[in-house]
Amino acid sequence: MNCKKNILLVRAHRGDDELVRQLDGAMIKVLCIPITRIEEIKQDEHIKINILDFEHCDIAIFVSVNAARIGLSLLEKYRPILPQHMAYLAIGAQTAKCVSDHNLKVISPSLETTEGLLSLRALKDVRSKRIIIFRGQGGREKLACELVKRGAQVTYSEVYRRVTDEQNLKNVLEVLPSIDCLVAHSATSLKLLGRPSQLIASNLRVVVPSDRVGRYAAVLGYRLLNVAKGAAPHSMRKAVMSALTEVTATTQSF
């Protein structure tokens, strides 16, 4: 598919972005302007305690690629050999691959969401289990809250934060009126962009990874939404392709 539509991706930069590679393979060029960047949180006493106490946990959960990459790097700094008795869980195939690359057996749900993770057999009966969740600062609370309800002892290890790139945000807002399709992986990205003008809200196709992010986009005012079946590159690619088909159909109708 040779598409000259303007597609904008705003998530934090990735050195090896599989979604961009897949779209390039389909001859779809993407304008990447990351409005946030990932910043590793300086090791404090809380993080060090979590790492030193890690072997006493029963389950370790990684909620993103960055959580796995940074979290495992910190763990291996203090303990070259990671415990094999634990259950390692990850949200998303890319996050799971990051964990398995460290020679760890990892469990990942087919539905790449918090809800999918909570449906796993490994998290059904967690009474008195000690669970550590590696994540970014200020993440969703649903996972921990549900696990606590199920009787688990839950600890967070927040190993990175998202920092707004003000110049890139300004650049995105300037080009947004000329964009045909916006790819937004999180509600955080949409929140930074703010409420769209009526013209943008009515004409811009927005691709999101989940119903939750889609609902937030709708609250902001976006009307043309394409919801992918998860944040995996192949799922987002499929949703982008569908959005572009609809953009083309709309253009040809005039």
Name which of 59, 16, 19 is nearest 181 in CA terms. Answer: 19
Same domain, 8 and 62: no
pLDDT, tens digit, for every residue of 149-169?
A: 999 999 999 999 999 999 999
Residue 3 has pLDDT above 90, yes or no: no
Examine the fold and report which residue of 162, 197, 232 is the final residue of a domain before the chain moves on: 162
pLDDT, tens digit, for every residue of 170-196?
A: 999 999 999 999 999 999 999 999 999
Same domain, 97 and 18: no
Q: Find the range with the poorest average confidence among 31-45, 129-143, 197-211, 239-253.
A: 239-253
Same domain, 54 and 113: yes
Calpha distance 203→225 (Å, rounded): 10
**Helix/strand/coil percentages in the chain, nearest 5:** 45, 20, 35
**Number of folded domains in the chain?**
2
Q: What is the pTM of this model?
A: 0.85
Domain containing residue 86: CATH number: 3.40.50.10090
Same domain, 72 and 154: yes
The pLDDT value recorded for residue 109 is 92
The radius of gyration of the chain from alpha carbons, rounded to an integer in Å, stands at 19
Examine the fold and report which residue of 109, 140, 162 is the final residue of a domain before the chain moves on: 162
Q: Are 22 and 233 in contact (CB under 8 A)?
A: yes
Same domain, 89 and 123: yes
Same domain, 54 and 143: yes
Same domain, 155 and 56: yes
Amino acid symbol at 24: D
Same domain, 95 and 30: no
Residue 248 has pLDDT above 80, yes or no: no
Domain of 138 in residue numbering reads as: 39-162
The pLDDT value recorded for residue 139 is 80
Examine the fold and report which residue of 132, 162, 192 is the final residue of a domain before the chain moves on: 162
Provide the terminal-to-terminal Cα distance of the chain, rounded to the nearest Å: 22
Q: What does the mean pLDDT of the chain come to? A: 91
